[in-house]
């Protein structure tokens, strides 16, 4: 039998298996009750009666009910000192389960927030209802049910932000599970959720925090190994390794000139070890005072001012972090390529531009690196048994050829971006900028490292253009100087030039000088040796039959 009743919230007992109620949720519920009252009844079942807090021991035990759904409403009502709250009473847990199903159907018609849905499914789970039963009973997708239930596993401080991301469709079940792996690190979880990312933004943040966590775990493992081996663990020596007194054991020689073995000396007096975390964490065994121990240094050391040294170290750490961030971003970016473009339908949209690139710049469309060859094959949907795109194109139909052309274009764009990052010489900066902007327009969110890369490439293009303009202006100035007429500084120059012209005019074909008083010679009688040779060749050509000329041309074409 099911009945409705107004029951004092002090007679309601919370379910022991209910998750912890957050302060934020209670405050929001109190505000809602003040404004609208309690809109949704609490679901309760009878509990054992008790005489607790009863002054008269002979008095009838006070009736109690155990809350199945509505713990937040109960807590808010207690704080607001409400006399009663509306309750739906079920005789037992089985009937409560059925009521929850009916209640869920009604609530779905009204539309629940993600957190309200998660709370509702959590109440069903308290009654030993499986996710599969929830899915089938309420006719909901399994992904939706499991993602809502997964939200309940997150820390209370992270649930509202994560719920917003789920509701926006930017956080899926897999990412919630990955996010839950940081449940013991609220700072890391806060950094992941601090921005309104899209799906790829969350992927970037998760990749970064996962890498940081892996580094911390590696450091902890190294410290445990050193402790078990009896090695003294110290912090990184001051001014290491430039002007520090300590030196790495592997760089020292003993009195006999033999190199020290770090594994043999690490636990001996005068030696210690620290974990170098500037790059990939590694153990560094050091001698605390090489000179006092009689060892010889083999590495040159020099003094570097603290400010300069710190600046160099910071720049190097920043450079390494930037490179690592670009590596992380490349992995996420290529996942985006697979999800966005690795289909025949998506390839058709990009095919005209990809074909224009391959046809217009075939030398840039070559893929020689094995790593990028594998990327191209997967983008084109070609099995790993095929060696390369060239082999895949043999006998392929039009749809497959379109995918191959698009895959080649995207892969060479990735390779060009990789070359720009590596600062190789044969790169196309404008194409790199255009590629990143195309991905952004397609819904991809650039990581902070990629945004910085985009800015750097754009600045490089602008600097090159300014330098080219300066060179062009300089060349124009030099040309203007060359075009200015030279002044006649010496009258002898004109006299010499005129004499040379007269001497040339008096030369004949055989080189003899004519007598100045001799007969006048007409222009037609002056014959140049070059003209004479051309006339001879022309006469020779005219003497050849037309058929012979044709035969010569055919023979030349065959060669």
> Which regions of 294-401 does DSSP assign to beta strands (E)?
296-297
**406, part of any domain:** yes
Both 135 and 70 in a single domain?
Answer: yes
Domain that holds residue 216: 153-227
Both 266 and 223 in a single domain?
Answer: no
Q: State yes or no: pLDDT of 403 exceeds 50.
A: yes
Lowest mean pLDDT among 161-170, 262-271, 403-412, 476-485: 476-485
Lowest mean pLDDT among 25-29, 446-450, 506-510: 506-510
Q: State yes or no: pLDDT of 57 exceeds 90.
A: no
Both 362 and 376 in a single domain?
Answer: yes
43-53: b (≥16 Cβ within 10 Å) or e: bbbeeeeeeee
Most distant CA pair in the chain, distance: 164
47/13 Cα distance (integer angstroms): 8
Residues 449-474 have a mean pLDDT of: 91
Structure confidence at residue 92 (pLDDT): 76
Q: How confident is the model at residue 109 (pLDDT cuts 50, 70, 90)?
A: low
**495, part of any domain:** no
**468, part of any domain:** no
Q: State yes or no: pLDDT of 535 exceeds 70.
A: no
Straight-line distance from the first to the last Cα atom of the chain, in angstroms, rounded to the nearest whole number: 104
Residues 306-330 have a mean pLDDT of: 90
153/133 Cα distance (integer angstroms): 19
Question: Residues 299-305: contacts with CB within 8 Å, 24+ apart?
Answer: 299/241, 299/247, 299/248, 299/251, 301/241, 301/242, 301/243, 301/244, 301/247, 302/242, 302/243, 303/242, 303/243, 304/239, 304/242, 304/243
The upper half-sphere exposure of residue 327, i.e. CA atoms within 13 Å in the direction of its Cβ, equals 8
Last residue of one domain, picked from the residues 209, 227, 245: 227
451/204 Cα distance (integer angstroms): 13
Residues 310-321 have a mean pLDDT of: 92
Mean pLDDT over each residue of the chain, to the nearest integer: 79
Beta-carbon contacts of 266 under 8 Å, excluding residues fewer than 6 positions away, are 226, 229, 231, 249, 273, 285
Last residue of one domain, picked from the residues 198, 227, 256: 227
Give the closest residue to 271 by CA, choosing from 251, 254, 293: 293
**398, part of any domain:** yes
Both 189 and 257 in a single domain?
Answer: no
382/400 Cα distance (integer angstroms): 9
Beta-carbon contacts of 457 under 8 Å, excluding residues fewer than 6 positions away, are 420, 429, 432, 433
Structure confidence at residue 35 (pLDDT): 86
Both 10 and 146 in a single domain?
Answer: yes
- What pairing do the DSSP bridges indicate for beta strands 282-287 and 247-248? antiparallel
- CA quadruple 424, 428, 431, 435: dihedral, nearest 10: -10
- CA quadruple 31, 34, 39, 45: dihedral, nearest 10: 90
Q: Which residue has the higher pLDDT, 284 or 57?
A: 284
Give the closest residue to 437 by CA, choosing from 455, 421, 461: 455
Does residue 205 have a cis bond before it (omega within 30 degrees)?
A: no
Q: 64 by DSSP, 3-state: which?
A: strand
390/411 Cα distance (integer angstroms): 14
Beta-carbon contacts of 103 under 8 Å, excluding residues fewer than 6 positions away, are 43, 69, 120
Residues 160-168 have a mean pLDDT of: 79
69/107 Cα distance (integer angstroms): 13
Q: What domain count does the chain have? A: 5
Structure confidence at residue 462 (pLDDT): 94
Beta-carbon contacts of 309 under 8 Å, excluding residues fewer than 6 positions away, are 239, 242
Q: What is the DSSP letter of 259?
A: B
Both 293 and 404 in a single domain?
Answer: no
Give the closest residue to 138 by CA, choosing from 163, 112, 169: 112
The string of DSSP codes covering 121-145 is: HHHHHHTT--HHHHHHHHT--HHHH
Both 266 and 331 in a single domain?
Answer: no
**CB neighbours (10 Å) of residue 38?**
19
Burial (0-12, 13-18, 19+ Cβ within 10 Å), 159: buried
Both 222 and 236 in a single domain?
Answer: no
Q: 393 by DSSP, 3-state: which?
A: helix
Both 167 and 77 in a single domain?
Answer: no
Lowest mean pLDDT among 313-327, 408-422, 492-506, 512-526: 512-526
114/104 Cα distance (integer angstroms): 13
Both 255 and 351 in a single domain?
Answer: no
Q: What is the DSSP letter of 305?
A: -
Both 285 and 319 in a single domain?
Answer: no
**380, part of any domain:** yes
Q: Which residue has the higher pLDDT, 458 or 534?
A: 458
Please name every residue paired with 282 in a beta bridge, in sequence order, or none if there are none. 276
Both 170 and 122 in a single domain?
Answer: no
Structure confidence at residue 278 (pLDDT): 86
Residues 493-511 have a mean pLDDT of: 46
**359, part of any domain:** yes
Last residue of one domain, picked from the residues 227, 250, 271: 227
In 155-305, which residue ranges form alpha helices assigned H by DSSP?
Answer: 159-168, 173-180, 186-193, 199-228, 262-265
**492, part of any domain:** no
Residues 253-260 have a mean pLDDT of: 95
Please name every residue paired with 189 in a beta bridge, in sequence order, or none if there are none. none
Ramachandran region, residue 473 (left: φ > 0; alpha: ψ -120 to 50; beta: rest):
alpha
**481, part of any domain:** no
Q: State yes or no: pLDDT of 111 exceeds 90.
A: no
């Amino acid at each position: 039998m099911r009945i409705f009743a107004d029951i004092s919230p002090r007679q309601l007992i919370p379910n022991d298996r209910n998750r912890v109620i957050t302060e934020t949720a209670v405050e929001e519920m109190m505000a809602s009750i003040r404004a609208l009252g309690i809109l949704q009844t609490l679901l309760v079942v009878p509990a054992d009666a008790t005489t607790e807090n009863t002054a008269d021991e002979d008095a009838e035990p006070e009736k109690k009910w155990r809350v199945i759904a509505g713990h937040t409403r109960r807590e808010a009502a207690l704080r607001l000192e409400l006399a009663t709250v509306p309750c739906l009473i079920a005789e037992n847990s089985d009937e409560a389960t059925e009521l929850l199903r009916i209640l869920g159907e009604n609530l779905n018609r009204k539309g629940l927030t993600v957190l309200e849905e998660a709370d509702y499914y959590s109440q069903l789970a308290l009654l030993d209802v499986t996710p599969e039963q929830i899915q089938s009973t309420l006719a909901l997708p399994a992904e939706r049910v499991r993602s809502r239930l997964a939200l309940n596993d997150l820390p209370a401080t992270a649930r509202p932000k994560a719920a917003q991301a789920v509701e926006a469709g930017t956080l899926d079940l897999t990412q919630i599970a990955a996010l839950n792996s940081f449940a013991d690190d609220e700072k890391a979880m806060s950094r992941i959720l601090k921005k309104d990312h899209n799906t790829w933004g969350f992927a970037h943040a998760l990749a970064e925090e996962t890498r940081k966590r892996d580094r911390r775990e590696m450091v902890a493992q190294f410290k445990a190994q050193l402790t078990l081996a009896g090695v003294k663990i110290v912090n990184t020596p001051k001014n290491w390794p430039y002007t520090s007194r300590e030196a790495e054991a592997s760089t020292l020689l003993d009195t006999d000139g033999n190199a020290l073995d770090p594994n043999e000396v690490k636990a001996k007096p005068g030696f210690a070890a620290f974990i170098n975390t500037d790059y990939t964490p590694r153990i560094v065994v050091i001698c605390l005072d090489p000179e006092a121990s009689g060892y010889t240094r083999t590495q040159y050391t020099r003094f570097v001012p603290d400010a300069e040294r710190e600046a160099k170290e910071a720049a190097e750490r920043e450079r390494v972090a930037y490179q690592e961030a670009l590596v992380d971003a490349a992995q996420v970016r290529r996942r985006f390529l697979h999800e966005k473009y690795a289909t025949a339908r998506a390839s058709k949209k990009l095919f005209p531009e990809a074909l224009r690139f391959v046809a217009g710049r075939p030398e840039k469309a070559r893929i020689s690196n094995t790593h990028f060859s594998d990327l191209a094959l997967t983008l084109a949907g070609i099995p790993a048994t095929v060696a390369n795109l060239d082999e895949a194109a043999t006998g392929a139909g039009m749809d497959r050829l379109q995918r191959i052309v698009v895959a080649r274009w995207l892969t060479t764009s990735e390779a060009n971006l990789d070359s720009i990052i590596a600062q190789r010489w044969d790169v196309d900066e404008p194409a790199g900028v255009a590629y990143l902007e195309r991905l952004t327009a397609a819904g991809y969110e650039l990581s902070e490292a990629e945004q910085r890369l985009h800015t750097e490439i754009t600045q490089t293009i602008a600097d090159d253009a300014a330098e080219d303009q300066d060179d062009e202006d300089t060349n124009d100035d030099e040309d203007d100087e060359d075009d200015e007429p030279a002044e006649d500084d010496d009258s002898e120059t004109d006299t010499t030039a005129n004499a040379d012209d007269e001497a040339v005019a008096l030369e004949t074909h055989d080189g003899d000088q004519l007598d100045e008083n001799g007969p006048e010679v007409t222009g037609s009688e002056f014959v140049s040796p070059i003209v004479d040779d051309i006339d001879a060749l022309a006469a020779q050509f005219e003497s050849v039959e037309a058929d012979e000329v044709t035969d010569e041309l055919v023979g030349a074409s065959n060669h």
